[in-house]
Structure formats: structure tokens, C-alpha cells
Amino acid sequence: MRCSGINLGLNLGNSCWHSGTLAAAKQAALLGVRAIAFSTSVSENEEPDFARLDSYVATVIDMLLDEKTMPLVNVNLPDKPRGIRWTRQSVRQYDGKVVASKDPMGRPIFWFTVIPLQGAEEGTDRWAIEHNWVSITPLRLDLTDEKELGRALALHHTPAIGAKPSGDGQRKSAASRSSTKEHARTLETTKKRRHKRT
């Protein structure tokens, strides 16, 4: 087993898509090694109290050592944990406003705000952290939406590359060709009439 972190900053919900800490754990999982990504909250004024988190990190590792079927797990630790909860990933929309600012060198920079448009749903990683629970979220490497894939396969026929259209496709193509020829004949007739008039 490999552990990534503890990252200074939580990796909740949508952050799973762009977290470097979680990416390191994903790479281990892709190589066939079980992995855990650890993250904790941080403020501008003080460092996290790692001594307070030690026992929870150890407990989580002990729990997951016995879970042989979980290749990738995301763990988030609040400042003052009161226990541990299994959670699912929070997925919600943010306001996404662009805020202009300047970096320490005085150069212009722009930030996207991430103020959530909805509250955290109970049972999610974000909800757990908001209620001071350590959040354990099992993840998977296959991001396929099985439900939507099944629906697409049931509704659409994907023709082979280079295959000729069949059924309705052939009829539509024939109708289109016929319409094009008729339009060409009409244009030719119109030209001849104009020519006779002149």
C-alpha cells in the first residue's frame, strides 16, 4: 500500500478531478498498488495540528489494510475530528465568477470563485468535513458512466467505419440525391428560358 499526503488543503468533491495528491495515489493504483490520498484543512494563520490527526491516520490505514478490494481511497481530515465516516464524493455546481487580482510581482491574475450553489448533501465527503468527521471515500479508476453508456447502446446503432448506410439511411440518401437532381433540372430550365428571352 502507498500513501499520498498529508496534503495541506482538503480535496473534496470536484477537487478529486484536479488534485495532485490524489493523482499520485491514482498512479499507484494504475500500477496495481493499493493507495490512499490524505488531505487536511489549512488556514493562512496556522499549520494543521498533525499530532491530533496521527491517531485517525493510523486508524484509517488499519481499516483499509483489510479492505483488499479497494484500490484507491480518498481521505479528508478536519481540524478537530470527532470520528470517521464512509462517504461518497460530493458533486455540485459552483458560482464560477472571475475575480481580477494581482500576484506578488504586481502582474494581473484572475481567480475562479468556488462558492457552492447548493448545500452539501448528507453522506458526502463535504458533508462529513462540515460536521467534523474524517471522510473516507472509495474511488475507482474507470470513470465510465455505465447507465448512460447502456442507454446510448440501446438507442443508437454505431455503423462500422466505411460501411454503407442501410434502411432509413439509404432511403434518406436516395431522397436527398433525387431532390438535388430535381433542383439542378429546375435551374437548367430557368436558364434556358432566360436565354430565349434575350
Amino acid at 16: C
CATH number attached to the domain at 2-143: 3.40.1210.10
Instruction: Delimit the domains of the chain by residue range.
Output: 2-143, 150-197
- Tens of pLDDT along the chain (198 residues) come to 999 999 999 999 888 888 999 999 999 999 999 999 999 998 878 889 999 999 999 999 999 999 999 999 999 999 999 999 999 999 877 777 888 999 889 999 998 776 777 778 899 999 999 999 999 999 999 999 999 999 988 887 777 677 665 555 555 555 555 555 665 566 566 556 655 555
Helix, strand, coil abundance in the chain, percent, nearest 5: 40, 20, 40
The span from the CA of 72 to the CA of 30, in Å, is 9
With H, G, I as helix, E, B as strand and everything else as coil, classify residue 103.
coil
Backbone angles phi, psi at 26, to 5 degrees: -60, -40
- Full DSSP string of 131-178: TTPEEEEEE-S----HHHHHHHHHH---PPTTPPP-THHHHHHHHHHH
| pLDDT at site 157 | 72
The span from the CA of 40 to the CA of 49, in Å, is 10
pTM of the model: 0.71
Amino acid at 39: S
